[in-house]
Structures are given as structure tokens and as C-alpha cells.
Structure 1
Amino acid sequence: MKNYNRTLLAAAFIAALGVTGCGSDGSDGAAGEPGTPGTPGTPGTPGTPAGSVVTTVDNAYDFNLTLAPTDIVVVGADPFSLKFTVTGKGTGGVDVPYSGLDKVALYVMSQSANATDTGAPMLWTNHALANDFGSSMYCTLTGTAAARGGAVVDACTLVEDEANPGTYTGTWAHDGNAPVVLASGDANDLARVFIRAYDVVMADGTSVSDKILSTPVDFIPATGELAVSAKDSVSNAACIKCHSPMEGYADTDMRIANIGAHHNYQKVENCVACHNPAYAGGQDDPEKGFNANFNAMIHTIHAGHHIADSLTGEAKEMFGEIGFPSELNECTACHDNGQQWNENIYAEACVSCHVDVDLATGVNHRGIVPASDAVCSGCHGSGSLSPSEAHNVGVRAMATDSIVFAVSNVTYAEDAVDVSGVMQDQMSITFDVSIDGQPIADGFDFGPYANYDEIKTGTVDADGTYFVGTSLNLTGVVSAGGKLVVTKVANFNVVGQSIAITPRFSVCADEKAKLIKCVNTVGEDQYAVEYIAVTMDTAYWNLVNADGSGANIARQSVPSMVSADEAKCSTCHTSLGIAKHYGNERFDQCMGCHNNTWGGSYHGTVEYKTDAVDADGVPVFAIVEGLTYSNRDLMTVSHRFHSGLWDDNRGFPAIHLNSDMETEGYPAVATQCSACHKEDVGIFAADGGLTSGKRSIAVDAAGTKFVSPVAESCRSCHTKASALTHFENNGAYVEGSPASIANLPVESCATCHAEGKAYGVDKVHSGAAH
């Protein structure tokens, strides 16, 4: 066979040579006459091109269900009808029709003006609930469906258009009209419709993990025109600030990634389908303890542990441990979509936070018993009792910006003062101080107004490493000439070094952002808004030079060496000063305590919430045996706290482990590093170490024992013994087996886990899997 093929090839080659040799000059011959056209073939039957229809999707966001208002009848006497299209991702990521959908649930509601003097001016009505049919209506191929609990219920009949795959219609074949049609509804009221799809699978046959929900459509049934709700005062973007965005969806279709209830209904617009006046009430029921109407319920949930002592029943059990990460009275942390929250005053929204107010008796309402919600605006519609004023919106930022400290001079003398026969050092720091833009008045002492009054000094090495030093206190220091001069005699031992000067300084202010004494005088009608951080940039001073120039700068002040993002922290906390309460607004202020050279921890053990309660019904916590932490490093402490690996000697930790060792209380997606970290600064440097240059973390107060920084950060979540073994096998020194030198070798973690690697943190911790 081989020889035969070679013979054919040779013959073909010779024939080709022969052709090129024809003619006297090697040119082509004259063209022949055109042949007789052949008989046209019979046209084939049109088919569906390969890949133009899909029956599976890889992700929920690849499933795109589109509703057109003109294809929906849900108001009035006309028969129910529904039409929608569905696409999925085909070959090359192209949107193609999705075929084979066999079950959906339809949610329909209307927004109408409140005709009574109780409640919000605009109200949602769920059509199915109004018709006593539940919260939604199924559509299936058979016209019946198994509801929760197993009962078979009537459903609309779902049909896919054979000629147009991916196009579906729904009709009602049972007695009467479909339960999602509101016969008494006004066709000029805004209607909202969205669909949940079921039984959507990936190519391997397993279900897509997220709920499959269409984008809600708001429209006017009478005209078919799209509309905008006048009631929605909280955007999805506001929730996402803490609860993370769902990956893969367009910016115009923002969805909330991590809502625990009902396994995530993704949008505020979805939640109100059920949490509307039809479910209102229950706050006075001791077994339930909360009002399920959305506005009231959300207030009670987020007030959580602030009002836990006043909660009962389900509310106490479900909400009593929730800690709000921003200021609870900062209404605009959530209300970012209009002024409805400030202009529409009604009891239901107020008492859901002010749970100790009884409007029927006037208790905790100055004895006032309002006749109806219509009179509330008489006191609360404007002025000091309006929500925007009474809730001190923005007071922390106002107070923070009103007081400004800046270091203008430092003097230092080694062994300058004889203290009981021992020569000690003396340091004086001069601050220029202004309040509301004016130099501080002579004779002012911050002491009575300060929650914390420390100014911390530490040294900084040439590589940017910060070492804890000695603190100076402001109490008793009196201003003069717009300045405060703070002097302390101690064993500083920093001659010839660079120092960093950081604040641990916060003050108390009233609702007008004015300074008040932190301890109120009995009988005074005032209260303190505590922990107002004072604006003070971290100052660096080279003690070799009189003007402080040429100082080393700590890595926490170098943006390219910091992979976490203060701005992202503030999206959830409003400011870091709220998160820590000590007056620290930036990482380079936090470093005064939270650094890699000062070992030890006030929260060295880890607690978890058992299933037991004490005699007062308070959850019992127990220690996780064999799991300890011995450092204050900001990176690892932040990871630990947000993953719940904590003990709290000052009360209940808002983020904690439950009895199944699962984290509770952290609002974001735990694996979404981008919730805190920068997009443009990687975690790993080119040499495999951290971008910060940090090579060790001290685990004893003397600074003589050290662990490896990458492994210790990972151990803030990965706590199993197998993980510890993995860290050690890859060159790490870990808790319990520390090194005695600070300049540790770089672990090999980056080999697999650096950005861009197969198991890089940017992939395995992207937050994409919910």
C-alpha cells in the first residue's frame, strides 16, 4: 500500500511538470467555451444551525430572560397573558435562544397611593397575595405544579414557540382569571413583574447554584411604557456596599451577592414582592417580634444588637446578633435614592428602630399619643426633629473635619532629665490646632472632651518597618497661640532615628457636631456622639535634622506597598474611625498599635457560639481548643475579625463562629478579596513575598519570636491542622513553631497562589462562587 501511494504521488508530480511544459512560451492556453448550466438541485429543508440553541448555561448570569410590558396582562378584566424570551451563551459566548424551560414562577405587584392616614404614602400590593393565592404563580408545561409542602396547585400553562425557540407564552386554562391578575387594579398604577426560572442546569447536569431571576420590569399597564418607582428609597448599590455584588451581571443590573434570608433574592425590587403591607404586623407579637413589611423589617434587622434587649421571639433570635458596621443613625448609608426617607414620616418605619416607643400610650414619646400618622410631620417634618436632623446624619464627618491637628515641630533630648537619680529622655511635640477653621483659643484643654487622648510615637527603619514606641497624652495640656505643646519624660531611646507620630485621639460631640464633655452633667438635656476621630495626618520626623526632613516613611503610608483599600473599607464602615472607635481613619494611623513588630494579642483565643443558652437566654460561647493567635498585625487581625476567629472580652462579637464553625455576621462574600483589596496593587511581589515588603510578624511583646506573614494571613481563615502542615511544608514559620529572627525567608506560597497562577488568590478567592 505504501509503494502504491508513492507511485500515485510520483505520477501526479510528473503530470504537473508536464502541464508546465505545454505551449511554446509556458503561457496559459485560450479559454474554452462555457459549458451548459446544470439543473438546479432541490432546496433542502431549513434546519436550525448548529449551536444556535442552548439547553444549559454555565452561570446564572448567562441566562437572560427578557420581558416586554406590552406582552403582559396582569390588571383588569382581560384574560391573563404572558410572553417572554430567554437566551443563553452559545459557542463563542454569543447569546442564542435557550430552549427547554419547563417551570417558572411569576411575581407581580402594583404600587398605588395610600388612601388612608396610616402608613407610607405609596404602598405595594402583591397580586397573588391579594387574591389569596400565595406570593407567586407557577407556570409549567402541564398547567399544574407542586407547591412547597407537596400540594398540587393550579398553574399557568407554559408553551415554547416551536418556530421561535427561546420564546415562551403563558396562559391560564383554569376557572376564572389567573391569580396574578388584580381585577380591581388601576391600569395607570406602576406594575412590577419578575420571573424566577427553575431546573436550569449546567452542561454536567448539575443545577446552577444561584437563583435564576429576571431583571424586574416596572411599567404602566395602561400604556405599556416603562416607569420608575416613586417609592424605592434604597438602591441595590447601597446594599452592595456591604453585601457584595454578584459577579457577571452588567453594571446596569446590579445584584446583591450575599443576603442570607431565602437564599438570596438579589435585589431590593425582588424583596418587596413579599415584604409589603400584606405581611405587615407582628411587631407586637412576642413570638414573632418584628413587622415583616420591608421598610420596618429592614430597620429592625440592621438595628440588630443595638436593640437586642428590646427584641422578642423570632426577631431576637434572628436579628439580635447583627452588628451594623456604620453609624446606625446614618440614614443615608442605605437611603441613597431620593429624600422619601426624610419627607415621609409614619409610625411603622420609626418604631421598627425605636422599639421602646409606645405611640398608643406615649411612653418614650414625651407622653404624646398621635391621632394618626398624618400628624407626625407636624413635629418631624422639618427642623431639629426631622429624620435628617434628629438622626445626626453626617455628624461624625462634620466633627472630624472641624478639628484639625498638624505637627509643626519636634524636639528631643537624650538623657536630659534626672528622675530620681535616673537620667531619662525628653520629647516635645508642637501641634498647630484649629477648630472650625480658626486657631484653637488660648487656655483650652482637650482632656474633658477626649474619648482617647494619646499621641503615639514609634520609630521607622529604612525599609519602612514601624516599631512601637512611647505615647504622649493631651489631657492637661493647655493651648496657647493656636498651638498645643505636648512634653513627656520617658525612656524613648530614639536619638538619631526617624519617628512616626500617629493619633489615637477621638473626642465627643453633640448632634450639631460641636464639642461636648464626654461625661454629661446630671440633668443636662444632651448626649454624646462618642468616638469622633480627629483629623491628623501621620507625621514623620527625622531627629537628626532640626526641621525633621529626610525621615523614613512607613510602608503603611506608601500606596504602592498597601494592597488593601481604605476607601473600600469606608463603603461599608463609612470611615475606619467608626470601625475602631479610637480616632484612626487610615492604615498609617492604625499602625501605631497594629503592626508586625509588636507581638501579643488581647484576643488570642477563638470563641464559637454553642447551641446552649444561659438562664437569661443569652447564648453560651466556648473556646475553640488548640487555636490561638499572638499578634496585632493589622493584616491578620483584620482577616481574623471579619472571618469570626475572635474572642471579645468586651461583649458579644458581631462576627463570630456558630456551632458548625461557620462564620456568621460578615455581610459580604467571604471569598471576595476585592471587597477590601485594591484592583491595581497585587498581594504578591515579584520575589514571591508580599507587596508590602513585610517578611515577618512578631508573636511576643519583646519582639524576639516571629512567624511568616503570608501563612499567618491565610491562617486567619484556613485553620485546620492540614492547612498548618501545608504552610510549614512550603517554608513557613507558624504559630507554635516561631523563628528567632525577623528577616525570614520568603515562603513559596506565590508559586501556586500569586495572581495569575492556576490557584492564584485572584481566582480561588474571586467571590464568583456564591
Structure 2
Amino acid sequence: MMKNYNKSLMAMALFSALTLSACGDGKDGQDGAPGTPGTPGTPGTPGAPAGSTVSYVDSAADVTFEIQPADINVAGSGTFAIKFKAMGKTPQGKTVPFTGLDMVQLYSVTVKENTSGDGAPLQWVNNAMTQGLGSSMYCTLTGTYTSRGQNGNACTMVEDASEPGTYTGTWTHAGAAPIMNPNDDLNATHRFFMRAYNIKDSEGNSVSGKVLSDRLDFVPATGELVADTGKDTVTVEACMNCHGNQDGHIAKIRAHGNYENPENCITCHNPDNQPSEEQLAKGWVFDFGPMIHRIHAGHHIADYLSGEDDKDPLQYFGKIGFPGELSECTSCHNNGDSWEQNLYRQACKGCHINVNYDTGEGHSEFSLVQTDDTQCKNCHGAGGLSPAVVHNVGKRAEYADLFKIEAQTATVTDPTPGDGMKTLTVTAKITMNGAPVADGTVLADYMTSTTRGMLIGNIDPNDYAKGSVTALNGTSAAISITSGATLAGGILTNSKEFTDAQLTGTVYVTAEVQVCADKGAVVKCRDGAGTALEGLEFGVDHGLANSAPLAYFNLDDPSGATVIARMDDPSRVTIDEAKCKACHQNLTHIKGTHGVTEFTQCMNCHNENTGRSFHSTVQYDTGTVDVDGNRIFATVPGLTFGQRDLVTVAHRFHSGNWDAPFRNGAYQYPAIYRDKDMKLNGFPGVENDCSACHKDNAKFFAADGGLTSGKRAVLVGSNYITPVAEACRACHEHSDDAALAHFESMGAYVHGGEEFGTTKDLPVESCATCHAEGKEFGVDKMHAN
């Protein structure tokens, strides 16, 4: 280093000597003669002002396209032409022309009336696919393309130098462009959209997700835009209810990425895409409507699917547990009633996979043979056997108040003073089919199960518990409405004995009862011999839940104030029940024979004071099978749960930290589970998207660092643990020593840890120090989807 430094000094000295000697006396020399003027240069093309265009974006959603019917000719047998403008967002959020596109992909489909008698009356036709020319075409700067290992001709794309971001495309090869269908109907509705390739961010990395244009629905003959194609019976918003929203696209489905808006899917999944005989035998179907029906029917039709490979129907969607009621068609078909007009056998067979139309097997009790689709509307058109009618669409919501139980009083008496027991008497007004239930009515005849009844529990008044609930008798917490009860003037009265300590303070009263209903009325579930009646809209295995508004009573002072349950106080609830019902439709079918319609009923069993769990272990799919071909599930060692508070149960179930049911000598797939790599299967949304269930911008931590709910302790057996670590490990399957040590260092009492709390009065965990909203490792950042 010293040698180089000395050389630098010498160079500087030499330079100084030369410059001084040129000046002589230090005065400026005389000006020289003017030189010959140089030849003027060629004027350059004016460049776009800095910041007026962009060639990179942060995300796929930052690129948009402007396409007008007048600027494209992609239909029929004319001359192919396309012109469009691409726009992108600058880092500052300003929308400017996007320059530098080098490859796009074009899709064109047509709505076609089908008079063949086979298939839907209206069908999507892919104009390239119907000619055997693939599903789309490319445009590139060179007029050729390489994609997915294939080479071919493309349209030649040019960016307008005088109008950056504006592109034109022409077809310079022999023959017609692939999406130009000479048999096309130019008076029919067409759909056109594009995909752009090779879009990068400011770091030179490819942006995540496909860059897609909006769909252009139009009539080529007139250029008229079309608002309703008559075929889009499912909107992307319906899919997002379960699958989540990522920049306006469906956030999570197993295949194809963000093509997955139903309006785009039909480009490839249409009647021209038919499975081979081998694929059909395994259960595959590729036309969009039937395929979606079959995928979502998953668990229900798994016995009719086959294939051991992960890409075969049995493994690919035979394990899917649909979270709602399959019969509630409008949970997906939310865009008009055209889904009821486009009737064809294959759509029905998507779910009703066991029907054989050639032999009639399974097609009604009469085994009706049907050789084409022209007869479908004879029975299933508007009227008695329409899809909406036979599937009871919307009836559960319509019938919601047909059986109503409204608590009136809750009083305490002491029949035998000094024995430590008292009697609680509850009265409730019961309304059936809009009228007070008549004296002498045998309510059990109308109920799907007689084990349910009035739900009653204490409200804990202590500040740290903020109104948590405890079942009065520790188990069912129910007073029967069928055994020992009297019924007079529409008022049901029943009593039950409890300990003195239980019958103090505020109690809540609600009910969980399911009844049978048909044709707009509650009806009897069984005939005179006790046999369940068939054909009811809501029968023994598909009951209608009661309506039971939550009521509070102060047992110490009947005229005094009552304490509100934590789950009934909006300020302490971060979950959004409407979001849950958007995916599940209702809570009733989730709990089988329980008459549950809202979370305030769930709290009777699923609260922090239950202290036990029916699903204490966590099992995962090992990826292996036994000698009979049944999947083997194994238990995650050391990971157990000893309570069923609703928060933890919901976290555990939706994150696959559950046990697999064992029936008929084999493990059955749970609705949601972990595989051998601990990857989540079955949950339709994004795993870390808290907003899928919680309120938008929910605050999970209170000012003291505890939970917003006010819950500060959870009972496990006869001891207590703290709730924050329990909620976290329910999703994150933390069970190793390092995780437990971390929890405990934050002041947590953890199931499986070094010690339990012996009282509810536990210190607040320090989790919020790092994980509260706005912190460096806050849940809002770590779970930012």
C-alpha cells in the first residue's frame, strides 16, 4: 500500500510541474484562431420525460390493460389485428404507460347455442381449441415463440415509439391466426383476455403471479360490450368467500395460479376438453361446471373415485371436505338463475356420480333411462323438481324462525334447606310455525334428537375473565324440554337441581334443538312406529335448528343488573361471524344434531372453563398405507391439548392440528389435515390470512398486553394455562423444548410445559411486547397473507 501511495504523490507532482511550465509567467496566453465548425449531428428521437413510463412493477396486479373492441379483430375469418395499451404503477403509486413488453398470450372464446341435445343449452367454445390449435396464441417481438418446451409461430408485436405503452400485433405467417375460427358466429358474445410474460420488479426478479388483463366481453359484429353472457353463474367473489382474495384474484387453489377466476377458467375447461376413457373411469371430468361440482363433492363421492397417484381423482380431490352444505347451490351460483336453465346430465353427474343414465340406475326411484339432455327440463324445469326445489336452496334461512325458544324467567328455590342443593326453574315461550305451541304437544315427536334442550351457564363477573362462561353442571349444561317439563299456554316450564355455589350471580339461557321441517312448516320426524320419515326437506339427518335468543338472569337479585357474556360483547370479539358463514353458510350443519345457529350457543361447551378436549392429540398423514391400502396416520409426539375453548379449537381445526377419525377399521381423512411434510391440506384459504375469519383490522391485544377478549386463563383439567401461547401453538404446532422454553420465558403457562397455574389469577404473558400490532414481529406483519 505504501508503494502505491508514493507513486500517486509523484504523479501529482509531475502534473503540477507540467501545468505551471505551460503558463510561464502565470498569465493567460493569447486566444488561438477559431476552428472549422463540425457537421451537425442527426436529431435524436425525443425521449419520454423521466417518470412518465415504467418498465417494472412490484406485483402482477400493478399492470393493467386497455383494450377496446374497435381496436381488435380476433374473431371469424378476417385479418387478425390487435391494439392495446399497457399501464403500470410507479413506486409512488402513479399509473403510467408500461413499456418493454416482449410476449403476450391471447385467449378467445364464444358463447354458443347448443342444439345437439347433448350438453348445456349454452356452451363456451374456445376458438383455438375447437380447431385443434391449442387453447390460445402468442404475440412476440420476433413473430415466433418458445413456451413450455414448444416452439411455434406467433403474431408480431410492436410497441409504438411515439406512444409508449401502446402495442399492435399482426399475423405474418401463412394461414389464419390460431384463435381466428372461420366457423365463428360474429353476432354471438365473445370473451377475450390476455396474459403478459416476463414482467419483473425493480430488482430484476419475476413478479409473483400471472399478469392478466380484464376480460373483454363483446359482440364482434357490432363492437357492443356485453354485461351478462348468460353463462357466468358463479362470480369470483363467491369463490373468494372460502378461497380468499389476493389482488382481486382467488388467493388459493391447487392448480394454475391466478388464472383462477371462473370467468377465465372456462377458456380451457369447456366441453371441448374431454377426458380419455381411462381418465373418465377414474372419475375425471374437465368441463368447468361438472368438474367444479365433482371437486367440491370430494368426500361425498370418494368411494366412486380411483387412482393411487397424487394427480389421480381419488387423491387429488377425493379428500376435499366442502365446508358448507352441498345442496345450497347458491353459495357458489350467486349470479342470477341461469344455472337452473342450463340443465344437462353431466352437470348433475358431477355430484351424483353414481347415476347411470344409460341404464337408469340411480336416476330417481323409477330408474329413468335418459339418452340425451333434451328431456331434462321436462322434470327439472321451473316448478316442482327444479334444482332449487330439489336441493332446498335457501330453505334453511327461510325457515329459521319456524321453531323459536325464548327464555322468560330463571328462578331459584331451596326445597331442602341445608343440603347444599337448590333447584333452578326455567320458563320459555315456544313458538312453532308462527304460533304458540299447543298444550299437549309432544315436542319429542318434532325433534331430530331428544338429548338437546335448554343451555344454561354462569357468567363469571371477575374483571380478568370479562364474562367468560361455565357450564352449570360441567357436562351437558342442559335442561331437557322433553323430560319432566310441563307445557301450558305456549310456555314450557322445567326444573333441575344444582349445587348452591352454581346458582349464584348471572346465568345465561339459550337452547340447542333441531326439528324436522317440510314445505314451510315444522313437522313430525317419525311415524307412529318411531321410524324416521323419508323425503322431508329437513329430516332426522338434516335437521332445522331452533332460534333461541340469548337471555340473562341475575339469580341473586332478579331485578338487578346482569353481566354480559364475553362472546356476546362485540367490543371483546375479534371474529367476524358473517365471514365464517360466508364459507360455511351456517353453523348448524357443522355440529350435526346440535341446534346451533350462532357463536353465543357454541360458548356453552367451547369456553375457557371446559377443561377437557375430545380431540387431544394431533395426527398427520404419513403418506404410507397398510396391507389393505388404507392410509396410515401417525400422532405428533408430545403435542396434546386439554381444553376446547372456541378460539383454540377453531385455530387447531382450520390449521390441521387435529386427529383423524378411525371408523370401520381404518383412518378416515379429516376435513383438514397435515401431510408427511407438515403441509396443510383441505383448508381452502391462505393459511396465515387472519382476516379470513377475524374482523378487518382486528386488534388482538389489549392495552395491558393481554387478549382483547379479556380472557386471561384457560382451564386444563383442574389447573390453568395462559391463553396467548395456547392460541399460537394451536396453529403453529409448537411442541419442541425450544418453543416451550420461549413461551415460558414470556411468562406463559403452557400445556406440556414445566408447570401449570393453580388459579385463574395468572400474570399477563409478555407476548405483546414483540407480537402486538405494529411491533417488529406483530401478528399484523407476520400474518400479512
Report if TM-score (shorter chain) is over 0.5: yes
**Does residue 697 in structure 1 map to residue 709 in structure 2?**
no
Report SS of the residue matched to 1:710: helix
The answer to whether the Cα contact below 8 Å between 1:459 and 1:468 also exists between their aligned partners in 2 is yes
User: Which one-letter code corresponds to 1:115 in the other structure?
Assistant: T
Q: Distance in 1 between matches of 2:436 and 2:276?
A: 54
5 Å-filtered alignment, 1:193-204, equals 193-204=192-203
Residue 382 of structure 1 aligns with which residue? 382
Q: CA deviation at 1:531?
A: 3.8
User: Which one-letter code corresponds to 1:431 in the other structure?
Assistant: A
Change in CA separation of 1:362 and 1:574 when aligned onto 2, cut-off 3 Å? same
Report SS of the residue matched to 1:145: strand
Change in CA separation of 1:518 and 1:697 when aligned onto 2, cut-off 3 Å? farther
Q: Distance in 2 between matches of 1:616 and 1:340?
A: 45
The answer to whether the Cα contact below 8 Å between 1:644 and 1:655 also exists between their aligned partners in 2 is yes
5 Å-filtered alignment, 1:707-722, equals 707-720=721-734, 721=736, 722=738
The answer to whether the Cα contact below 8 Å between 2:52 and 2:96 also exists between their aligned partners in 1 is yes
Q: What are the Cα deviations for residues 261-305 of structure 1, in whole angstroms up to 9, with x where unaligned?
A: 223323111100000011135688555413210010011111110
Report SS of the residue matched to 1:384: coil
**Does residue 430 in structure 1 map to residue 427 in structure 2?**
yes
User: Which one-letter code corresponds to 1:219 in the other structure?
Assistant: F
* Structure 1 range deviating more: 466-475 or 280-289: 280-289
5 Å-filtered alignment, 1:745-760, equals 745-760=763-778
Q: Distance in 1 between matches of 2:321 and 2:241?
A: 15
Runs of 4+ deviating beyond 6 Å: 42-45
Gaps of 5+ in 1: 1-41, 248-253
Change in CA separation of 1:296 and 1:49 when aligned onto 2, cut-off 3 Å? same
The answer to whether the Cα contact below 8 Å between 2:458 and 2:505 also exists between their aligned partners in 1 is yes
Report SS of the residue matched to 1:732: coil
Residue 358 of structure 1 aligns with which residue? 356
The answer to whether the Cα contact below 8 Å between 1:99 and 1:165 also exists between their aligned partners in 2 is yes
* Correspondent of 2:779 among 761, 764, 770: 761
Report SS of the residue matched to 2:289: helix
Report SS of the residue matched to 1:374: coil
**Does residue 501 in structure 1 map to residue 509 in structure 2?**
yes
Residue 534 of structure 1 aligns with which residue? 546
Change in CA separation of 1:478 and 1:326 when aligned onto 2, cut-off 3 Å? farther
* Structure 1 range deviating more: 139-148 or 373-382: 139-148
Residue 686 of structure 2 aligns with which residue? 669
* Correspondent of 2:344 among 317, 322, 346: 346
* Correspondent of 2:468 among 465, 480, 485: 465
5 Å-filtered alignment, 1:129-148, equals 129-148=129-148
* Correspondent of 1:688 among 692, 696, 705: 705
Report SS of the residue matched to 1:458: strand
Q: Distance in 2 between matches of 1:264 and 1:486?
A: 57
Residue 588 of structure 1 aligns with which residue? 600
Change in CA separation of 1:61 and 1:383 when aligned onto 2, cut-off 3 Å? same
User: Which one-letter code corresponds to 1:695 in the other structure?
Assistant: R
Q: What are the Cα deviations for residues 116-162 of structure 1, in whole angstroms up to 9, with x where unaligned?
A: 122111111111212212222222222222232x2322222222222
Q: CA deviation at 1:564?
A: 0.5
Q: Distance in 1 between matches of 2:531 and 2:406?
A: 35
Report SS of the residue matched to 1:716: helix
Q: Distance in 2 between matches of 1:649 and 1:417?
A: 48
Q: Distance in 2 between matches of 1:95 and 1:533?
A: 52
Q: Distance in 1 between matches of 2:723 and 2:413?
A: 36
Change in CA separation of 1:618 and 1:197 when aligned onto 2, cut-off 3 Å? farther
Change in CA separation of 1:578 and 1:344 when aligned onto 2, cut-off 3 Å? same
**Does residue 294 in structure 1 map to residue 288 in structure 2?**
yes
The answer to whether the Cα contact below 8 Å between 2:515 and 2:522 also exists between their aligned partners in 1 is no
Report SS of the residue matched to 2:315: helix
**Does residue 307 in structure 1 map to residue 285 in structure 2?**
no
Q: Distance in 2 between matches of 1:45 and 1:526?
A: 78
User: Which one-letter code corresponds to 2:383 in the other structure?
Assistant: G
The answer to whether the Cα contact below 8 Å between 1:416 and 1:426 also exists between their aligned partners in 2 is no
Residue 575 of structure 1 aligns with which residue? 586
User: Which one-letter code corresponds to 1:467 in the other structure?
Assistant: T
User: Which one-letter code corresponds to 1:497 in the other structure?
Assistant: G
Q: CA deviation at 1:197?
A: 1.6
Change in CA separation of 1:599 and 1:525 when aligned onto 2, cut-off 3 Å? closer
Q: Distance in 2 between matches of 1:44 and 1:112?
A: 52
**Does residue 678 in structure 1 map to residue 695 in structure 2?**
yes
User: Which one-letter code corresponds to 2:188 in the other structure?
Assistant: D
The answer to whether the Cα contact below 8 Å between 1:236 and 1:255 also exists between their aligned partners in 2 is yes
Residue 644 of structure 1 aligns with which residue? 656
Q: Distance in 2 between matches of 1:108 and 1:635?
A: 47
Q: Distance in 1 between matches of 2:531 and 2:563?
A: 49
5 Å-filtered alignment, 1:119-518, equals 119-148=119-148, 150-228=149-227, 229-247=229-247, 254-281=248-275, 285=279, 287-313=281-307, 314-365=312-363, 366-414=366-414, 416=416, 424-448=421-445, 449-451=447-449, 452-462=451-461, 463-470=466-473, 471=477, 472-476=479-483, 477-491=485-499, 493-510=501-518, 514-517=522-525
Q: CA deviation at 1:608?
A: 0.9
Q: Distance in 1 between matches of 2:516 and 2:780?
A: 42
Q: CA deviation at 1:414?
A: 4.2
User: Which one-letter code corresponds to 1:436 in the other structure?
Assistant: N
Change in CA separation of 1:195 and 1:723 when aligned onto 2, cut-off 3 Å? farther
Change in CA separation of 1:546 and 1:95 when aligned onto 2, cut-off 3 Å? closer
User: Which one-letter code corresponds to 2:721 in the other structure?
Assistant: V
Q: CA deviation at 1:91?
A: 4.7
Q: Distance in 2 between matches of 1:636 and 1:682?
A: 17
User: Which one-letter code corresponds to 1:380 in the other structure?
Assistant: H
Q: CA deviation at 1:605?
A: 0.8
* TM-score, normalization by structure 1: 0.88
Q: CA deviation at 1:90?
A: 1.6
Q: What are the Cα deviations for residues 671-716 of structure 1, in whole angstroms up to 9, with x where unaligned?
A: 221111112642111222111111111122x3xx222211211112
Report SS of the residue matched to 2:416: strand
Q: Distance in 1 between matches of 2:340 and 2:296?
A: 18
* Structure 1 range deviating more: 557-566 or 737-746: 737-746
Change in CA separation of 1:140 and 1:727 when aligned onto 2, cut-off 3 Å? farther
Change in CA separation of 1:753 and 1:347 when aligned onto 2, cut-off 3 Å? same
Residue 39 of structure 1 aligns with which residue? none
**Does residue 728 in structure 1 map to residue 728 in structure 2?**
no
Identical-residue share of aligned pairs (%): 45
Root mean square deviation of aligned Cα: 2.4
User: Which one-letter code corresponds to 2:581 in the other structure?
Assistant: S
The answer to whether the Cα contact below 8 Å between 1:415 and 1:423 also exists between their aligned partners in 2 is no
* TM-score, normalization by structure 2: 0.86
Change in CA separation of 1:657 and 1:141 when aligned onto 2, cut-off 3 Å? same
Q: Distance in 1 between matches of 2:278 and 2:429?
A: 55
Change in CA separation of 1:290 and 1:599 when aligned onto 2, cut-off 3 Å? same
Q: CA deviation at 1:512?
A: 5.0
**Does residue 631 in structure 1 map to residue 640 in structure 2?**
no
Change in CA separation of 1:729 and 1:65 when aligned onto 2, cut-off 3 Å? farther
Q: CA deviation at 1:74?
A: 1.6
Report SS of the residue matched to 2:702: coil
Q: CA deviation at 1:516?
A: 3.5
Q: CA deviation at 1:518?
A: 6.4
Gaps of 5+ in 2: 1-41, 663-667
Report SS of the residue matched to 1:138: strand
Change in CA separation of 1:147 and 1:598 when aligned onto 2, cut-off 3 Å? same
The answer to whether the Cα contact below 8 Å between 2:526 and 2:533 also exists between their aligned partners in 1 is no
